Amino acid sequence: MTACEPGETVGAFLCQAGQMLRAAAIESPRLEARLLLGHAMGVTAETLLRDSRMVVPAEAVARFGAALKARLAHVPMAHILGRQGFWTLDLAVSPATLIPRPDSESLVEAALAAFPDAEAPLRVLDLGTGTGCLLLAVLSERPRAFGIGVDREPAAAALAAANAAANGLAGRSAFLAADWAGALAGTFDLVLSNPPYIESAAISGLMPEVARHEPGLALDGGPDGLDAYRLLAAALPALLAPGGVAVLELGQGQRAAVEGLARTAGLRPLSCRPDLGGVDRALSLAKKPVGGPASED
Ligand SMILES: C[S@@+](CC[C@H](N)C(=O)[O-])C[C@H]1O[C@@H](n2cnc3c(N)ncnc32)[C@H](O)[C@@H]1O
């Protein structure tokens, strides 16, 4: 390990922090050190790169120390920074719910592909809305759409409402704390859901950022990971308007099982969009027409 130059400069702090993060097996130690120091100083990581001889002010040193300590304890970067980008949106995050993942953007792509008319006046429902990321991304692309986001965790529903306001979407969205769609009447053109789908026994083996810092309510799908899909599949036929589509996020390897549950509930699998890693991720479903064939295949 090369010795870091001593001193109070950006370069010295970044060098020391990078080494500590690497020793803690953090994947991108130099990048994260820059993001944390930039956050503590209120400047961008690019600014730090431009002037590594800049002296770090005392109050930023204290903030950086606290942020670094948290990261070394595997607190997720998004929780320390308080923000996460998703689609084109900048979203506040909190320990109350899942940090939005890039893989979930495939649900937004699937939803937009299902409703390609940008001017369609869609009614959208997002079950387990968390930060509101899925609903808000769709509303940002469909200016005549209106949406409701539901989360059983009241702090998540409040976070999603704040994210809607911060992104100029409060006028076309509403959020409530409830158990799935139990509190709702009416039907929707588009139902989105990224439910908890990790097998209960697998959670403790996930990376510490997830297992220790993201809530069980957002992760735990029961013994086989499918508990929420059973409830959602049963509820969807009554929630979908004629011509409506549901887009569900899947965990790796869950496609066949969830399609089976959907068919049993009277739904028709339309397509399944892979994420950037090629994993079947966004399952689109429609209601089988009354009196229609029992299955599409
Ligand atoms: C996997 S997270 C997804 C959050 C967000 N939609 C996203 O894609 O990042 C699942 C969310 O479902 C919520 N949830 C779990 N059980 C629920 C229930 N019975 N009713 C409503 N929401 C629930 C959790 O609180 C959590 O916010």
Nearest CA to ligand 1 atom 13: 128
- Token pair for residue 7? 């001193």
Residue 285: closest CA among 277, 255, 44: 255
- Our answer on whether the CB atom of 198 is closer than 6 Å to any ligand 1 atom is no
| Cα distance between residue 97 and residue 130, in whole Å | 5
Q: What is the mean pLDDT of residues 213-242?
A: 97
- Our answer on whether the CB atom of 192 is closer than 6 Å to any ligand 1 atom is no
Q: Is the ipTM of this complex over 0.85?
A: yes
Q: Is the pLDDT of residue 292 over 60?
A: no
How far does the centroid of ligand 1 lie from the alpha carbon of residue 197, in Å?
10
- Our answer on whether the CB atom of 175 is closer than 6 Å to any ligand 1 atom is no
The whole-model pTM stands at: 0.94
Atom number in ligand 1 closest to CA 193: 6
Residue with tokens 């097996």: 25
Nearest-10 Cα torsion for 148, 153, 155, 157? 0
Residue 2, annotated as binding a ligand: no
Residue 194, annotated as binding a ligand: yes
| Cα distance between residue 131 and residue 8, in whole Å | 37
- Our answer on whether the CB atom of 221 is closer than 6 Å to any ligand 1 atom is no
- The percentage of the chain sitting over the pLDDT mark of 70, rounded to a whole number, equals 97
Average pLDDT, the chain: 95
- Our answer on whether the CB atom of 163 is closer than 6 Å to any ligand 1 atom is no
Amino acid at 26: I
Q: What is the mean pLDDT of residues 1-20?
A: 89
Of 127, 152, 180, 248, the residue with max ligand 1 atoms within 8 A of its CB, to mutate for a pocket test, comes to: 152
pLDDT at 168: 98
Q: Is the pLDDT of residue 46 over 80?
A: yes
Q: Which helix (DSSP H) or strand (DSSP E) does residue 285 occupy?
A: strand 280-287
Residue 167, annotated as binding a ligand: no
Nearest CA to ligand 1 atom 4: 130
Q: How does residue 296 score in pLDDT terms, banded at 50, 70 and 90?
A: very low
Tens-digit pLDDT profile for residues 168-222: 999 999 999 999 999 999 999 999 999 999 999 999 999 999 999 999 999 999 9
Q: What is the mean pLDDT of residues 9-28?
A: 95
- Our answer on whether the CB atom of 153 is closer than 6 Å to any ligand 1 atom is yes
| Cα distance between residue 120 and residue 140, in whole Å | 13
- Our answer on whether the CB atom of 154 is closer than 6 Å to any ligand 1 atom is no
Tens-digit pLDDT profile for residues 58-86: 999 999 999 999 999 999 999 999 999 99
Residue with tokens 């399952």: 283
| Fold exhibited by the domain 83-287 | Rossmann fold (3.40.50)
| C-alpha atoms less than 13 angstroms from C-alpha of 1 in its C-beta half-sphere | 12
Tens-digit pLDDT profile for residues 141-172: 999 999 999 999 999 999 999 999 999 999 99
Q: How does residue 6 score in pLDDT terms, banded at 50, 70 and 90?
A: confident
How far does the centroid of ligand 1 lie from the alpha carbon of residue 13, in Å?
38
How far does the centroid of ligand 1 lie from the alpha carbon of residue 180, in Å?
9
